[in-house]
Amino acid sequence: MAITAVNNSYNAAQSISTKQTMGKDDFLKLFTMQLQYQDPLNPMSNTDFAAQLAQFSSLEQLSNISSQLQNLLISQNSLQNTLTSNFIGKKVKHPGNEVYLKDNAEISYTLQSDASRVQMSVYNSSGSLVRTVDLGQQTSGEQTYIWDGKDNNGVQLPEGNYQIKVDALDASGKPVNVSTMVYGTVTGITFDNNITYLIVDDSTKIQLSDIKEIKGGA
């Protein structure tokens, strides 16, 4: 009887040892066999028993964490596919002062208070001023301007990125706080440090929380 018990324990252990990794079920199986076939004259101490139970608990927690991480990766991949289908080719409005010109460019800006004079300046990628637009007197709040893509001489400028600056003065000549937003087409999506970013016009990287408006496909 004792020989049979030893053989059963040995065979079970050999079966588990052939696996590349030991899961929590295998651990519990070996632990149960150890209790079943222990020497009744020299049983496992309470300290050893508690230590092995603690090992089993740790193994189970690690297994659960691994499962949660796998689910997280699956969710991230699913999110990426969803974002790709929902955002690629769409036009989005976001904070910034760099606009992509393709025939024309839509620019949005917000005046914190009424302005007696508003002026928009456009700079090319080299930093040279190419267009100045006098927008006159405007009230506080959000305003929109569509730049026709021409310079100060009326010449159509090439497609590409341009910097926008909006300056405003109140009736007493003091500066008015202005925040600018631009529109761009989503051309890609990337993940960095577990944060999802949209690539706008192949050059600007923005977070989803930066999007203030979404328009239809380009």
DSSP annotation string for 50-65? HHHHHHHHHHHHHHHH
Neighbours of 213 (CB within 10 A): 11
Query: Are 76 and 143 members of one domain?
Result: no
Q: Is the pTM of this model over 0.95?
A: no
Query: Are 56 and 73 members of one domain?
Result: yes
Query: Are 60 and 131 members of one domain?
Result: no
Q: What is the per-residue DSSP string for 138-170?
A: E-SEEEEEEE-SB-TTSPBPPSEEEEEEEEEE-
* Residue of 71, 66, 168, 158 whose CA lies nearest to 116: 168
In contact, 110 and 142? CB cutoff 8 Å: yes
Q: Give the range of the structural domain holding residue 29, as residue numbers without chain letter.
A: 2-85
Query: Are 61 and 169 members of one domain?
Result: no
The total number of structural domains in the chain stands at: 2
Would you say residue 29 has pLDDT above 80? no
pLDDT mean over 152-163? 95
Query: Are 16 and 109 members of one domain?
Result: no
pLDDT mean over 166-181? 95
Query: Are 60 and 123 members of one domain?
Result: no
In contact, 98 and 204? CB cutoff 8 Å: yes
Query: Are 94 and 134 members of one domain?
Result: yes
Choosing from 52, 85, 118, the residue where a domain stops is 85
Choosing from 85, 106, 123, the residue where a domain stops is 85
**Of the ranges 2-6, 24-28, 66-70, 149-153, the best mean pLDDT one:** 149-153
**Alpha carbon distance 31, 51 (integer Å):** 11
Query: Are 144 and 202 members of one domain?
Result: yes
Query: Are 204 and 102 members of one domain?
Result: yes
pLDDT computed for residue 2 by the predictor: 43
- Over the stretch 76-116, which tens digit does the pLDDT of each residue have? 666 665 655 678 888 899 999 999 998 899 999 999 999 99
In this structure, what CATH number is given to the domain that contains residue 174? Answer: 2.60.40.4070
Choosing from 54, 85, 116, the residue where a domain stops is 85
Torsion from C-alpha of 178, 184, 187, 192, nearest 10 degrees: 10
Query: Are 50 and 105 members of one domain?
Result: no
Neighbours of 31 (CB within 10 A): 16
Query: Are 35 and 105 members of one domain?
Result: no
**Alpha carbon distance 109, 212 (integer Å):** 12
Q: Which helix (H) or strand (E) holds 72?
A: helix 46-87
* Cα within 13 Å of Cα(24), Cβ side: 15
Neighbours of 218 (CB within 10 A): 13
Single-letter code of the amino acid located at 189: I
Query: Are 132 and 187 members of one domain?
Result: yes
